[in-house]
Amino acid sequence: MRRVLIAAAAASALLLAGAEPSPEASAPGDLADDASLEALLAADCVDDTAMEIAQAAGRLPQEGGVASDQWPPHAIGGVIPPIRSVSDLFPTFDGVAVDTENNRVIFSDENRHSMLVYDRTAGGSSNDVTEPVQWVFGPKAQLGYIAGVEVDPKRKEFYTVNNDGGDRMVVFSYDDHGNAQPRRTLTLPHQSWDVSLAPTRDEIAITVQQSNAISIFKRGAKGTDHPIRTIRGLATGLEDPHGLYFDETHNELITANHGNWTQIRPYTPYDPIVTDVGEYKSGAFHPSAITFHAADANGDVPPLRTIEGDLTGLNWPMGIDVDLTHHEIAVANYGDSSVRIFRRDAKGNVQPTRVIRGALTQIVGPVSVAIDVKNEELWVANYGDHTAVVFPRTASGNVRPKRIIRNAPKDTPTCGFTNASAAAYDSKRDEILVPN
Amino acid sequence: MFARLANGNVAPKRVIEGQATNLSRTMHGIAYDAIHDEIVIPVALGGAVLVFRADATGEVPPLRAIQGTRTRLVRPHTVAVDPVNNEILTADPSMRAVVVFDRTANGNVAPKRVITGPKTGLLDIVGLDVDPIRNVIVAASRKGNGEKVGIFVFDRLANGDVEPKQFIGGPNSKLAHFRQVTIDPATGNIFLAQQNTRMKQMEAYVLDKPREGFKAKEEKEDEDDDSDSGRLDQMGFIAVYAPDDNGDIPPRAIIKGPGIRLAGAAGVALNPKRKEIITVGGNGFQTFLLPEFFKPFRKTGGTR
């Protein structure tokens, strides 16, 4: 079995980035508006980052284009090193899927754009990085800001969805490793989040955040194949949908919704101005909810039932999984760093049957869950920490996990954002603001 | 929220998140109002603009929320705040519009002004700022056919279907796949974050419907659409222009190279007092110390 050392790979990247932390905060001192460069440099700590990046810049071939010294003409600036650089160079765990037939656990990594596969029994109490048995990454893999994960034990394939940076689902085999080409890709609507497989129906279902939709494709769909049906519209109750489970036993599609809704219209640079938009419906914020739709639903179809309300404690619910043996739904509740377990047939404003939450649990910003009925375990992928934590299936309350899987050494911080596209500077608090 | 001096792999000092905030995990803009000490942020998937106390932390509700049928908002992408004239501005690519509200607007309120229509040239508006000193609004907007991809400058009080007073774009500008724009209040210099010089690719779907006639391009190893392509001739940069710049011109000042490539240049913010430029993209941000970029530009290049 091939082995990969995450720590070594990240350390290589650190050489370029210069990630030695400097003091995080200092009160902004008085500085004249016309302060000299020397004064500005002296005012703050400028560490080795600048030197490292300047050296890297010197090694770059000047191939023309914007990298050329000749462009832009007469401009000041050029290839300039930053004085500070904030970045998390380790993977994060986002989606998770467990294959109990082949004893593997698959995670998506939004931060470093990779897929990590572990032995099902991996992890423990070590403070060190847990080594994956398989790690797919690199430009051929076409992994962008990926989210949900699905596994097909029979075909020994695993799936993930590019939420941004590619608009496609990619499928890999258990034999793939390193900079591997996907076995197949399927183009998806922008902001697709989760994927769930229905092996008997031979279908896959996809949630789409911005369209408030579920699109269903044939399992082997590839290229630009179209969905065979789509659930979308005001009546559906789908609102910023994330986690999805295709329950073939009960012919239901179960979806975790954040509650944000807008009547989105075409917005890309390739779409004309749309003037005939029909009746305008304004944006709305509703409570988070779990919706249940008929598996054959198509179009603007209301849910069969909904779990929603104060008693549920739902707060930015992300990934979900369903235990068809014990009739339970597990929800990764990002907003309060908990996992909430509901009865599969629950509806309305109901309390969860169990909640795993508290400092002992080490659940921090969970993005997905997976129930392993065969081995009586519950997996939780933490985005807010460099860990996944494994509990007994029936765990409840503020309890310690059985095992911890680490993708970075213990206590490695996370920046807490990915795919950021804006910033602001708070001059009063001397802070940099970044929306996620 | 990170300390200005944060460096390396650092956790944020504060986070505003959770259901009660009405934020989502899809937010593409942010503005800080230093006079009123507030943060303004658009929620694209909720058709809303939210205002928070600048010292907020945790799961706290916004002070104000602009949302409802009178707002006409659909998918607000980016925001700016004008604390001098007491206005909040947002750009909504689904509305194809720049929309101006009273700064204290709250709830279901109509905008004061809307800049939209064919004369404006606006389409996919991804960056926005306002300069209350020179009385201009600067918008960064993209059109897929290559026309009108660049920086649009409007009179601050423009309303309706009006032409921009200045436009920076064209082949010499190399402007293509950019996002946030910001203005240095002292000089009026315009800073733009460009992720790469390749135009954003056409999406296969129009929302949830397959785009008619769409043909997928042959997949290449560097087809990561929303970040730096990795090619030196297409790499992203921070471009800086003088306030009066107009036409198909290259930037007056530029930050390029591997320092930008660490994360890609999608967002840009300024700390004029410290002469620092903060660029954000992907999973990180970088800070550059460049006092020359905060001086007025000479007509023929360089700074005075």
Nearest to B30 among A139, A288, A424 (CB): A424
Give contacts of A231 with chain B, Cβ < 8 Å.
none
Give contacts of B55 with chain A, Cβ < 8 Å.
429
- Residue B193 covered by a domain: yes
- Residue numbers of the domain that contains B97: 14-116
- Please tell me whether residues B138 and B272 are part of one structural domain: yes
- CB distance B203–A435 less than 8 Å? no
What does the pLDDT look like over B94-137, one tens digit per residue? 999 999 999 999 999 999 999 999 999 999 999 999 999 999 99
Beta-carbon contacts of residue B212 (< 8 Å; ≥ 6 apart)? none
Distance from CA of A244 to the nearest CA of B (A): 17
Interchain contact A202–B (C-beta under 8 A): no
Beta-carbon contacts of residue B206 (< 8 Å; ≥ 6 apart)? A266, A268, A271
Specify the CATH number for the domain of residue B108.
2.120.10.30
Quick check: A240 and A259 in contact, CB under 8 A? yes
- Residue B259 covered by a domain: yes
Quick check: B51 and B63 in contact, CB under 8 A? yes
The CA distance from B142 to B135, in Å, is 23
- Please tell me whether residues B139 and B270 are part of one structural domain: yes
Nearest to A75 among B47, B197, B252 (CB): B252
- Please tell me whether residues B243 and B279 are part of one structural domain: yes
The CA distance from B71 to B95, in Å, is 11
- Please tell me whether residues B81 and B137 are part of one structural domain: no
Highest-scoring range by mean pLDDT, A84-93, A201-210, B203-212, B256-265:
A201-210
The CA distance from B11 to A211, in Å, is 32
pLDDT of residue B303: 66
Say yes or no: ipTM exceeds 0.90. yes
Instruction: Give the Cβ contact number of residue A27 at 10 Å.
Output: 6
A135 falls in which pLDDT band (50, 70, 90)? very high
- Residue B37 covered by a domain: yes
Here the tokens at position A70 are 């000749």
Closest CA to A150 of A319, A349, A345: A319
Helices (H) and strands (E) in chain A, counts: 3, 30
Nearest to A223 among B22, B216, B250 (CB): B216
- Please tell me whether residues B90 and B197 are part of one structural domain: no
- Please tell me whether residues B276 and B136 are part of one structural domain: yes
Whether the per-residue pLDDT at A55 is higher than 90: the answer is no
Residue spans per domain, chain A: 20-84, 96-406
- Please tell me whether residues B266 and B136 are part of one structural domain: yes
- Please tell me whether residues B257 and B292 are part of one structural domain: yes
Q: Return residues 61-100 of A near B (CB < 8 Å).
A: 61-67, 71-90
- Residue B108 covered by a domain: yes
pLDDT of residue B201: 82
The CA distance from A320 to A290, in Å, is 9
Q: For residue A424, give the chain B residue with the closest CA.
A: B269
- Please tell me whether residues B183 and B288 are part of one structural domain: yes
Give contacts of B25 with chain A, Cβ < 8 Å.
258, 316, 436
- Residue B149 covered by a domain: no
- CB distance A139–B9 less than 8 Å? no
With a pLDDT cut of 90, the percent of chain B lying above it is 77
- Residue B41 covered by a domain: yes
Q: For residue A214, give the chain B residue with the closest CA.
A: B208
Distance from CA of B175 to the nearest CA of A (A): 11
- CB distance A80–B256 less than 8 Å? yes
Nearest to B18 among A230, A287, A335 (CB): A335
Q: Return residues 307-346 of A near B (CB < 8 Å).
A: 314-316, 335-336
Closest CA to B181 of B249, B105, B262, B269: B269
Interface test with chain A among B37, B45, B212, by most A beta carbons within 10 Å: B45
Nearest to A82 among B43, B55, B259 (CB): B259
The CA distance from A166 to A188, in Å, is 9
Distance from CA of B142 to the nearest CA of A (A): 6
The CA distance from B175 to B141, in Å, is 10
- Residue B157 covered by a domain: no
- Please tell me whether residues B34 and B74 are part of one structural domain: yes
- Please tell me whether residues B92 and B42 are part of one structural domain: yes
Whether the per-residue pLDDT at A158 is higher than 50: the answer is yes
Here the tokens at position B279 are 């660029």
pLDDT of residue A46: 44
Domain total for chain B?
2
**Mean pLDDT across the stretch A163-185?**
95
The CA distance from A416 to A282, in Å, is 30
What does the pLDDT look like over A237-295, one tens digit per residue? 999 999 999 999 999 999 999 999 999 888 899 988 877 778 899 999 999 999 999 99
SS3 content of chain A, % helix, strand, coil (to 5): 10, 35, 50
- CB distance B303–A76 less than 8 Å? yes
- Residue B262 covered by a domain: yes
pLDDT of residue A239: 98
Whether the per-residue pLDDT at A222 is higher than 70: the answer is yes
- Please tell me whether residues B112 and B134 are part of one structural domain: no
CATH architecture of A96-406: 7 Propeller (2.130)
